[in-house]
Amino acid sequence: MNIRNIRTGAVLGLFVILGSLLAGQATEVKIKVIVENASIRVKPGIDGAVLEDKIPVGAVYLSSKKEGEWYEVRFRSRVGVQLTGYIHEMYVEVIDEDAAKAGQQPPIFKGMGPVRVQEVKPFEMGLIFGLSAGSFMSPSSTYSDTWAWSELESVSEAGTISHKLGNPLALGFSFTYYFRENVGFRLSVDYNLKQNLADAKSAYQIDWTWTLGRGSFHDEGDWPVKGDFWLVPISANLIYKIPTGGIFAPYLTAGMTAYLGRANIETSLGYSNSWISSDGKTQLIDFFIIPVKVEKDLTTAGVNVGAGLDVLLSPNIALNIDGVYYWGSSYSDDWPVTEGTYPASYYTGTTLTIDWMQASDFKAKITKLSIKLSSFRIAAGLKILF
């Protein structure tokens, strides 16, 4: 073998190698869907989650790679997200290049709809802001008493403590882990913003009638009601996300709730008394301003059920609308009366000492404060899926 033949063989071998390398590089082809209800999956294989389904016959994609029987394609979803997926070769056919050059192929398909992100994202974190419907407290507590003594033919007392709460704003955070495709565990915290009672009022009215036809007299007083109320439900729920294949992903939740909270309310009420003057000639009547105060710990447990909707804005972000009904305990609590010595409202120098017996008697005449923890909360916010 001479040197010329060796050189010629080497050059030919180099061309063969380069040709093989070039042939092994991916070439872009156009594929057309030829069957109904074809789908694109997130990975090559029937176990891959569906990214796009119900693709119309005739849709065309560009593909520069094939793994086994699956073509890799790139397209944009309806929300404008660039995605990569895989479609099986039995759903498509390669478009003839000559026909393509002649302009006989349909336009390239850009994607027809939503991404089924919920099937491939096991974690979710959400932040919501909303409103808790319904007052947690009864609108008011009342006090009433009637009595007579010596020259007083009748004495009538009536008091009202207004303490109705409005609908508190709620700020919520949730974390969800899907241990199956559509079933998961969600931990959520809803903080109902503290409500103050500065605008409420305690009213008191007293009427009395003397014997001997002296007629009727009337007096009254009112005082502010101060305090606050706060409640934090912490819930551990199972969540089931209803598979829809669209950008709308509804879900249902149910589970247990632990409540952390407290109610603090203080105000005053009138309490009347009658006595004989020091000279023994005159009977007097007056009322005294007695402080009352409630401090209630609201730590307890309950249950909840809810439903919501995620609207997928991208593979990693969803708009969230969430509603939940909480079943919690109901409390009925006395108004503790503060013992002590109090001055009369009009007769200077006259005082009344409230001991534990009188405090108990006065407290028994005030209707109890009713607090209920059951409520409905509706909120909206955003979720991050990862």
**Each residue of 209-222: pLDDT tens digit?**
998 766 667 788 89
**Nearest by Cα to 380 from 326, 322, 330:** 322
Mean pLDDT of 80-84: 72
Q: How confident is the model at residue 37 (pLDDT cuts 50, 70, 90)?
A: confident
**What is the Cα–Cα distance from 170 to 134, expressed in whole angstroms?**
13
First to last CA, the chain: 66
Quick one: pLDDT at residue 289? 94
Mean pLDDT of 281-301: 92
CB 338 within 8 A of CB 292: yes
Q: Which of 119-123, 159-163, 233-237, 343-347 has maximum average pLDDT? A: 233-237
Q: Which of 28-32, 49-53, 132-136, 261-265 has maximum average pLDDT? A: 261-265
Structural tokens at position 262: 């407290």
Q: How confident is the model at residue 112 (pLDDT cuts 50, 70, 90)?
A: very low
Q: Name the residue with higher pLDDT: 33 or 116.
A: 33
Quick one: pLDDT at residue 199? 72
- Residue 27, pLDDT > 70, answer yes
**Nearest by Cα to 221 from 270, 280, 165:** 270
Quick one: pLDDT at residue 368? 92
Quick one: pLDDT at residue 36? 86
CB 236 within 8 A of CB 249: no
> Which conformational region is residue 68 in: left (phi greater than 0), alpha (psi within -120 to 50 degrees), or beta?
left
CA Rg value for the chain: 39
Per the prediction, the chain carries an average pLDDT of 84
Q: How confident is the model at residue 83 (pLDDT cuts 50, 70, 90)?
A: confident
Question: What is the 3-class SS of the chain, one letter each residue?
Answer: CCHHHHHHHHHHHHHHHHHHHHHHCCCCEEEEECCCCEEEECCCCCCCCEEEEEECCCCEEEECEEECCEEEEEEECCCCCEEEEEEEHHHEEECCHHHHHCCCCCCECCCCCCCCHHHCCCEEEEEEEEEEECCCECCEEEEEEEEEECCEEEEEEEEEEECCCCCCEEEEEEEEEECCCCEEEEEEEEEEEEEECCCEEEEEEEEEEECCCCCEEEEEEEEEEEEEEEEEEEEEEEEEECCCCCCEEEEEEEEEEEEEEEEEEEEEEEEEEEEECCCCCCEEEEEEEEEEEEEEECCEEEEEEEEEEEEEEECCEEEEEEEEEEECCEEEECCCECCEEEEECCCCCCEEEECHHHHHHHHHCECCEEEECCEEEEEEEEEEEC
Size of the chain, expressed as the number of residues it contains: 386
Q: Among 51-55, 140-144, 170-174, 323-327, name the one with the lowest average pLDDT.
A: 51-55
Q: Among 76-80, 82-86, 129-133, name the one with the lowest average pLDDT.
A: 76-80
Quick one: pLDDT at residue 15? 44
**Nearest by Cα to 50 from 59, 41, 58, 63:** 41
Q: What percent of the chain has pLDDT over 90?
A: 52
- Residue 273, pLDDT > 80, answer yes
- Residue 163, pLDDT > 60, answer yes
Q: CATH number of the domain at 119-385, out of 3.40.50.800, 3.30.70.20, 3.60.15.10, 2.40.160.20?
A: 2.40.160.20
Instruction: Give me the CATH code for the 20-111 domain, please.
Output: 2.30.30.40
**What is the Cα–Cα distance from 107 to 58, expressed in whole angstroms?**
9
Q: Name the residue with higher pLDDT: 119 or 258.
A: 258
The pTM for the full model equals 0.67
Quick one: pLDDT at residue 156? 94
**Each residue of 131-154: pLDDT tens digit?**
888 678 888 999 999 999 999 999
Quick one: pLDDT at residue 126? 96
Structural tokens at position 380: 């909206």
- The domain locations on the chain are 20-111, 119-385
Mean pLDDT of 39-56: 85
**Nearest by Cα to 63 from 94, 100, 91, 19:** 94
Mean pLDDT of 322-330: 94
Contacts of 40 (CB under 8 A, 6+ apart): 50, 51, 52, 53, 55, 73, 75, 85, 86, 87
Quick one: pLDDT at residue 220? 83
Mean pLDDT of 94-114: 52
- Beta strand pairing status for 317-327 and 351-354? unpaired
Contacts of 167 (CB under 8 A, 6+ apart): 131, 132, 133, 134, 135
Quick one: pLDDT at residue 312? 87
- Residue 109, pLDDT > 50, answer no
Q: How confident is the model at residue 257 (pLDDT cuts 50, 70, 90)?
A: very high
**What is the Cα–Cα distance from 110 to 79, expressed in whole angstroms?**
11
Quick one: pLDDT at residue 215? 67
Q: How confident is the model at residue 50 (pLDDT cuts 50, 70, 90)?
A: confident
Structural tokens at position 369: 């404060």
CB 307 within 8 A of CB 323: yes
**What is the Cα–Cα distance from 150 to 124, expressed in whole angstroms?**
75
**What is the Cα–Cα distance from 81 to 75, expressed in whole angstroms?**
8
Mean pLDDT of 286-306: 94
Phi, psi of 100 (to 5 degrees): -65, -45
